[in-house]
Amino acid sequence: MKTGLIVALDIDDPAEAVALAGELGERVSAFKVGSQLFTRGGPAVIDAIRHAGGEVFLDLKFHDIPNTVRKAVESITDRGIAFFTVHASGGSEMIRVAKEAAGDARVLAVTVLTSLNSDDAAQIGFSLPLEKQVLRLARLARDSGADGVVCSPLEVSKLRGALDNDCILVTPGIRPAGLASDDQARIATPAEAAHSGADYIVVGRPIVKAEDRITAVDSILSELR
Ligand code: C5P
């Protein structure tokens, strides 16, 4: 199986983000536009990345009543995005309507934010151990029509075993060997993530902050092969 590379455009300046998308072009499977970039650049940034030849992964993690999520999804899918995210904890009906409104875009569900530890989870009121909560939400998402799940690289092989083979697994928290982990705690190398069965890895700072971004991308791609 071939693991694709998604580059997280966590950049304040939309023009710089679009220029980077143009520079990296077809080397990468998609560019992740999250709330940092979207709240500054708006939908125009999606159009500009598409115009520069990139696919877009819109990571706005929708989590609202089903009707509101449907309307939000309808307003973005006609722009030709490839993937977008919802919170699995929004519930079955919310995920189902997101999928219904998605058109050709694939719906990815976020289970438990990896920034939460077990104390945080208990504080919120999750009664299950975190690992079980992740699995429960991943199954709920898949049963409700989500095309895949975003998970930590350390969860990939377990989810790959527990979910059907067509379920798309996307993992951030990737650091090429020898690089700073930044604020990522549970990390894996691109090769490890590929070996665990990830369909796509998401990489931000190791590429965005690299002196030579093309070399950084090429070296990650060679690790994935
Ligand atoms: O810079 P870095 O490679 O750590 O960026 C990873 C990207 O993936 C960021 O956009 C971050 O918000 C996102 N992400 C993550 N962990 C999650 C979900 C998303 O790091 N569990």
What is this structure's pTM? 0.95
CB 74 within 8 A of CB 96: no
Specify the pLDDT at position 38.
Answer: 97
Specify the pLDDT at position 73.
Answer: 97
Specify the pLDDT at position 183.
Answer: 76
Residue whose tokens read 């929004």: 90
Pocket-forming residues, ligand 1, beta carbon under 6 Å:
8, 10, 32, 34, 113-114, 150, 172-173, 182, 184, 202-205
Burial class (CB in 10 A: 0-12, 13-18, 19+), 125: exposed
Specify the pLDDT at position 26.
Answer: 86
**12-22: per-residue pLDDT in tens?**
999 999 999 99
Nearest alpha carbon to residue 203 among 5, 14, 54, 2: 5
**169-200: per-residue pLDDT in tens?**
999 999 998 787 787 777 899 999 999 999 99
**CATH number of domain containing 196:** 3.20.20.70
Nearest alpha carbon to residue 140 among 99, 96, 88: 88
**48-93: per-residue pLDDT in tens?**
999 999 999 999 999 999 999 999 999 998 899 999 999 999 999 9
CA 172/CA 158 separation, integer angstroms: 16
- For a mutational test of ligand 1's pocket, the pick from 5, 7, 10, i.e. the residue with the most ligand atoms closer than 8 A to its C-beta, is 10
Nearest alpha carbon to residue 182 among 206, 200, 212: 206
61 is catalytic: yes
Name the catalytic one among 2, 32, 61, 158.
61
Total domains in the chain come to 1
Specify the pLDDT at position 219.
Answer: 95
Specify the pLDDT at position 118.
Answer: 87
CA atoms within 13 A on the CB side of 70: 9
Specify the ligand 1 atom closest to the Cα of 152: 21
**110-151: per-residue pLDDT in tens?**
999 888 888 998 999 989 998 999 999 999 999 999 999 999
Specify the pLDDT at position 172.
Answer: 95
Residues spanned by the domain of 204:
4-224
CB 19 within 8 A of CB 49: no
Q: Specify the 3-state DSSP secondary structure of 58.
A: strand
